[in-house]
Amino acid sequence: MKTIHTKAKHTEWLSAEDMHDASKLWLSELQFFKEEQLFLEDLIKSYTLNLIDNNHFEESKKIIDKLSIEVKNTQVLLKAVIAHEKGLSIMVDGIDQLDEEAAYRSKHRNLIELIGEFKKRYQTIKKSLFSLIKLVMKEGKQKRLLT
């Protein structure tokens, strides 16, 4: 017997207050990620010579390229969330604008997915970068001990 997979779409009712709280949380997280990315860039600069070593060049280039993309995505998401937060007034103005309110909720659900995917990618990149830096640091210590 063949099973058929259907994609159920569950639409949760989101109040204006819930969407506002989510937007504030996203802004806080994205601003933290932006600061964290500055730290990661400084970390990369500190270990540049070790990262461009023949043994690690390809891997470090891939990770750094992915990080650069996510830095740009952070900016894009920050702008989108700020604009989304400013548009919240349509939900609380007391005027029934069903189409605009439905579009706002749809955009909010879209942002939920985009930010969730962004966080997963970003965490994966950070783990890869920290693993690489850790390896480079160990190798540096071994080289010093041998000399």
Q: Where are the domains of the chain?
A: 16-146
Whether the CA torsion 128, 130, 133, 138 is positive or negative: it is negative
According to the model, what pLDDT value does residue 147 have? 66
Length of the chain: 147
Alpha helices (runs of H) in the chain, residue ranges in sequence order: 16-46, 48-51, 57-86, 89-92, 98-146
Say yes or no to pLDDT of 131 above 90: yes
Helix (H, G, I), strand (E, B) or coil at 38: helix
Separation of alpha carbons 130 and 57, rounded Å: 15
Say yes or no to pLDDT of 5 above 60: no
The mean pLDDT value for 133-143 works out to 85
